[in-house]
Structure 1
């Protein structure tokens, strides 16, 4: 009897550990090498480091715009690193926006290991850096979350004072993603929830939700779910193109939509 119990416990621990390993390998795709920097496309930038509350060293770029009214705090997706967003940084900067983009722990030159709680800490540390080191008022900060960075941006906006919120191709939650990609995967094993929907429900700041109807990774339905959960004021921009290139495939709609959203922020 005792042996049977031991076998069951060992089996449960093994299965639980396997799913944790599978979850981590399926969720985070960091790259260490910085392949290109903003100066490659003519952008002046500051390469900075700051530390999180749990002692992780985070690398970031600050790209200033002349006479900017707002600073985008950019939390990128789960693949690559900040160097894979240089073209997008340039497009956003041309809209007159400061862009502050950082690499999560375990990505690029940042130390540490990726985790949901860690990502939230990294985002908060980036926010604190803008306020304390760059002397940027919270009323000028707009979190911009791309893909998995969407839930990270929503989380910050739910806890800190910011002017508005923008998400692009964002997850509604990893549970929804698991159900879409791996229908047989037992959702109760998922530890990293990245739940945007529950956090956006009480956000009364202006919100812009951007998503491609042809998204080949994060289903468009997730943006609809997120938009429906969000209270007014809010706007939904529908693009065309793939998950990773919709901002290029629909460049006009993308830049026009963001510009108009910014102009209407009270």
Structure 2
């Protein structure tokens, strides 16, 4: 049996350690990106909300679940692409606040593998799921492009952006968006080339230049999950018309609670500007 000198053994150990640090995120990347919850925590019925159950079929045959939540006097419908954890039941508080603060209809849907939706998540699958959600709104609900707001939070911002590049809508709203999964990997493991090895891309920075609708980006200035600087960088790369609203003191998951009235004012003024522009064009 060959025995290596201590210095060489140390180098071999360090090389193996670095290789392990690189390979673990690559081999388990989906488990590190997607955190789906199957069980619904609460339903609109239990909260006394008006709603319609929706069953969607993605283009590859996967059946998805969603809730359409209407409100009296709405002008816009917000299609919500949620983040990488939980399911639509964890977004009902946001939907209720959208009703109260913005008077918008809200459509929540779960990606494959989340909640009551079939399958398992991956990048292309989430894009297919968003297309299915859009088809439901445009066909079953008759939502016109001029009344549709596409909204995405965190990972959902990448899904929302891709959808906004493919279908007509009145505007796109992104909350806590990252520039790419590669950049996110680099922010977590800055000394390892993990990002280049990942199959999942969600490359928002490469895509956003093709956007052809008004854009609002909201980002907590104390976000420790998605760096605030990534939201600013994405905004800088986006074409006009665009607005950026920094949420003072907010992290990643407390944006609308910490942001409070100023947060909802930013939303309201953005939507109000869209409505005014639509009215003046007739």
Distance 1:41 1:211 in 2: 29
- In the alignment, what sits opposite 1:93? 99
Taking the aligned partners of 1:171 and 1:15, their CA distance within structure 2 comes to 23
Asked if the contact 1:69–1:97 (Cα under 8 Å) also holds between the matched residues in 2, the reply is yes
The residue that corresponds to 1:107 in the other structure is 114
Q: Does 1:193 align with 2:201?
A: yes
Structure 1's 16 and 242: CA in aligned 2 closer, same or farther, altered over 3 A? Answer: closer
Alignment of 1:259 onto 2:265: no
The Cα shift of 1:42 comes to: 3.4
Distance 1:55 1:17, change over 3 A: farther
Alpha-carbon separation, structure 2, partners of 1:124 and 1:16 = 34
How far 1:36 moved relative to its partner?
Answer: 1.0
One of 219, 235, 239 as aligned partner of 2:227 = 219
Match for residue 257 of structure 2? 248
User: 1:10: which partner in 2?
Assistant: none
TM-score normalised by structure 1 residue count? 0.91
Report the counterpart of residue 237 of structure 1 in structure 2.
Answer: 245
Question: C-alpha separation between the residues in 2 aligned to 1:246 and 1:75?
Answer: 16
Q: Aligned-residue CA RMSD in angstroms? A: 1.7
Q: Which runs of 5+ in 2 are unaligned?
A: 1-19, 278-282
Shift of residue 16, structure 1, vs aligned partner = 9.8
How far is the alpha carbon of 1:135 from its aligned partner? 1.1
Deviation (angstroms), 1:185: 4.3
Task: Give ranges in structure 1 of 5+ residues lacking alignment.
Answer: 1-13
Q: 2:43 aligns with which of 26, 37, 44?
A: 37
Question: Is the contact between residue 105 and residue 122 of structure 1 (CA under 8 Å) also seen in structure 2?
Answer: yes
Q: Distance in 1 between matches of 2:125 and 2:256?
A: 27
Query: What is the CA distance between 1:15 and its match in structure 2?
Result: 11
- The more displaced of 69-78 and 88-97 is 88-97
Residues 19 and 189, structure 1, Cα contact 8 Å, conserved in 2 = no
Q: Which has the larger radius of gyration?
A: 2
- Shift in Å, 1:18: 5.4
TM-score of the aligned structures, taking structure 2 as reference length: 0.86
Alignment of 1:49-198 (within 5 A): 49-94=55-100, 95-183=102-190, 184-198=192-206
Partner of 2:14: none
Number of residue pairs matched? 253
CA distance in 1, matches of 2:193, 2:110: 29
Residue of structure 1 in register with 2:8 after alignment: none
1:222-259 CA distance string (max 9 Å, x none): 11011001111110011122211121111212111000
